[in-house]
Amino acid sequence: MKKWFNLLFGYVVLQVTGEFPERFFNLCAQHRRDFWRLRWLDAHTVQVRVRLVDLEELEELGQRCGCTLEVLSRRGGLAQAQRLSKRWGFMVGLALCLICVGVLSQFVLVVEVVGNEEVPSAVILTELDRLGVRPGVYAPSIAQREVANEALIALPELSFMAINVYGTRVVVQVEEVDERPELLDQSTPADIVAAADGIIEDIQTSAGQAQFVDGDIVAKGEVLISGTIPLYEQNPEKPYAGDLVVHATGTVTARTWRTLEERLPLTVPTKVYDQEETTSYQLKILGLELDFFEKSSIFPEGYGKITRTETLKLGGYTWPVSWTTTTYRGYTVQEQAVDPQQGEALLKQLLQQRLERLLEEGEGEILQQDYVTRVEGDTLVVSLVAECREQIGRTVERPGTTGHTEPEEAQVGEES
């Protein structure tokens, strides 16, 4: 422990020369001044180590006993500080660095989102940026609770948010809303209507009355399962007892035939870029933008812009330092012919995507499909004819309320 204390506060390698060097060390002992590493060079010369803070007093003791003291070296932390204190440039730079560290440590460098699975971090960070939580902002100025409450209002997918500031790092802890099954509205009348033409293969009714049977041909818009169920009694004088109105539910699986079409001009305007290009650069630090090309945003029409941004990533975090390179190239618009084979492949891909989107809601499958390609003038036309199996029943609500309705004749009789 004493060794580290001496290294911290500094010590001096001292050479003592005199007729009787012993007297010097006796005086040091009387005045309780430590010395160590005593080494005799000859009968009148001794090397010893003493504390730096005791040097001035030891010089007086040396004069009293007729000894000469020579400082061979100064070592330790305090000695280095005294040596560096004479280098004003270094000291000023050190002071500026300490000030910069103290000031910059009050600004946010990293914003991190944890706890999200379904909601993308980019969506949360964009909302926080709108509310003032971003890299480069003064950390003590963040109203953590108020910002979290406003963000929760704007992001209904989240049920909880806490903003914690740890120095230059902001950690946003979130929890997502638990998805609950949608409750079926039983109070609103509804029918099951066909979403496409087809031949019914299977009809299953949970509530309501089926209007067709397996094998029937139905058209788009027809009611497949009605939410109105007529009631009958055994009394022959009054066999009709009104209707029971319900929210119809059920599934109707049918074979359908889908016909889709896409068109593509055989000549399209294309940008032909020049060989010459102009490049501008931008450095962004803590929200401060430094442009290295004054006219980076002033270009007439007929120029294309390609922007590439590289962000500093260090220690697994993205820091608020980015370098943006923007390249401008002139171009002219020329009509160019489309390769028919490539155009046909593109249109087939688009048709396939459209068909898959149509079948998503009905959880359908494609049984057979065929493409027809033709040219009409300067337009390439591709048609898709597909035989599918899908669930074509769609719920369509109607005004009113569910429950039993009396026959119209009975209602008229009651009014009379």
- CATH number, residue 65: 3.30.70.260
The helix/strand/coil state of 177 is coil
pLDDT of residue 38: 84
Model confidence at 4: pLDDT above 80: no
β-pair type (209-210, 240-245): unpaired
Q: Which of 337, 362, 377 is where one domain is finished?
A: 337
Predicted confidence band at 199 (pLDDT cuts at 50, 70, 90)? very high
pLDDT of residue 6: 66
**Claim to verify: residue 215 and residue 246 sit in the same structural domain:** yes
Cβ atoms < 10 Å from Cβ of 345: 12
Model confidence at 210: pLDDT above 50: yes
Model confidence at 294: pLDDT above 60: no
Q: What is the pTM of this model?
A: 0.49
**Claim to verify: residue 272 and residue 313 sit in the same structural domain:** yes
pLDDT of residue 325: 87
Predicted confidence band at 413 (pLDDT cuts at 50, 70, 90)? very low
Largest CA distance in the chain: 149
**Claim to verify: residue 170 and residue 210 sit in the same structural domain:** no
Domain extent at residue 158: 110-176
Percentage of the chain exceeding pLDDT 70 = 85
The helix/strand/coil state of 137 is coil
**What does residue 266 show for φ and ψ, rounded to 5 degrees?**
-80, -15
Given a contact cutoff of 8 angstroms between Cβ atoms, the answer to whether 113 and 174 are in contact is yes
Number of domains, the chain = 4
Looking at residues 77-100, what average pLDDT do you find? 68
Q: Is residue 33 part of a domain?
A: yes
pLDDT of residue 84: 58
Looking at residues 116-135, what average pLDDT do you find? 89
- CA 43 from chain centre, in angstroms, equals 79
For 403, the token pair is: 């429950």
Model confidence at 312: pLDDT above 50: yes
Q: Which of 252, 277, 304 is where one domain is finished?
A: 252
Q: What is the mean pLDDT of the chain?
A: 82
Q: Which of 337, 356, 371 is where one domain is finished?
A: 337
